[in-house]
Amino acid sequence: MRQGPSTGVRSPSLATFRWAGTGGMIVAVLLPVLVASRDYLLYLGTMALVFGLLAESWSLPAQAGLISFGHAAFFGIGAYASALLSLRGQLSPWLSLIAAALLAALFGLVAAEVAGNLTGAYFSLATLAMAEILRVVALHWTGLTEGAWGLVGIPGLPRLPPGGLARLVGSRATDYYAALLLLAAMCGTQAWIRRAPLGLALQAICQGEARAAASGVDARRVKRIALAVSGLFAGGAGALHAHIFQWVDPASAFSLTLSVLPLIMAMFGGGQYLLGPVLGAVVLYLGNELLFQRLAPGGHLWLYGGAVILVILALPHGILGWVEARLEGRRGPV
């Protein structure tokens, strides 16, 4: 939810968002039980959470005005690192995932050093260049990455044994709950940051680094933290994606689509709200898979793009911004 100055009056939108968020969490936890016999629906839920994690991680540095066009770099590092550690390092998928996420966080620190002095479009283009450089490296370092063929046979997360709990939630529920756990950790971290001095520092940097520096904000340090945390969870999303599909290649891991989608999803849901990017990711991913691809199998991307453009133009503050405006309008003047 969006933060704002306290007025002493409890906002109806705040209470409504909290109830809606609580209801959403309950549904998310129980979803495998509700669709246990339908593996495809559980898969869709898992992938919606993975994209929600990617979009939510993107929105953290965006609070400081750092609009990344290269988030695929973190995603791809996480995917390849976890794949290599589990395939060639013989680590368990769980340990590989954790190590890969930490490696992506380390790259976030590197990105902050390389592009930390840049702002606006220059920062965006620098991050785009980083992702493209990594894609080219993964494509041509065949001894490590197998080039364009990619890495196949990546171990998946352990499945539940037949019977018992698997009958209740499905054998692939581990993928789903791993994604849900990572997303919950990202949202919890994001909520804490927004209420901490770090959140105020991010907002100050967004208003202007000179003004932030005059207030005692160390902009370089704040950017390092934001990009490292963002990289940690985006890398976790990439690692989880690799273990779900058990395959990764440069074109998919460092795709430009993966750099643009988080921005679109955040804008669609309401990037200034805590759960806006998650909502945007879930609605867009499920809408594309369950609606657009069925309405126009050969041209679903046109429908998808058109719907996104219309919503962003009609709702400049995203879905949650529209909902809040409706709730505040119904409340009337105080």
Of the chain, the percentage scoring pLDDT greater than 90 comes to 63
Tell me whether residue 52 is exposed, middle or buried, using C-beta atoms within 10 angstroms of its C-beta: 0 to 12, 13 to 18, 19 or more. Answer: buried
4 within some domain: no
In a domain, 134, yes or no: yes
Q: Is residue 283 part of a domain?
A: yes
Report if residue 6 sits inside a domain.
Answer: no
Considering the domain boundaries, does residue 3 fall inside one? no
In a domain, 2, yes or no: no
Q: Report helix, strand or coil for 106.
A: helix
| CA 116/CA 219 separation, integer angstroms | 9
Q: What is the extent of the structural domain holding 84?
A: 13-331
**Within a domain: 49:** yes
Partners of 152 in beta bridges: 247
> Does the structure show a pLDDT above 50 at 4?
no
Q: Residue 291: pLDDT above 70?
A: yes
The domain total for the chain is 1
Computed from CA positions of residues 190, 193, 198, 204, in that sequence, does the dihedral angle turn out positive or negative? positive
DSSP output for 293-330: HHH-TTTHHHHHHHHHHHHHHH-TTHHHHHHHHHHHHH
Residue 1 belongs to a domain: no
Q: pTM above 0.85?
A: yes
pLDDT of residue 30: 85
Contacts of 329 (CB under 8 A, 6+ apart): none
User: Phi and psi of 305, rounded to 5°?
Assistant: -65, -40
Question: Can you give the pLDDT at residue 313?
Answer: 86
Q: What is the pLDDT of residue 309?
A: 85
Question: How do residues 184-217 score in pLDDT, each as one tens digit?
Answer: 999 999 999 999 999 999 999 999 988 899 889 9
Report the pLDDT value the prediction gives residue 135, as an integer from 0 to 100: 97
Q: If you count them, how many residues does the chain have?
A: 334
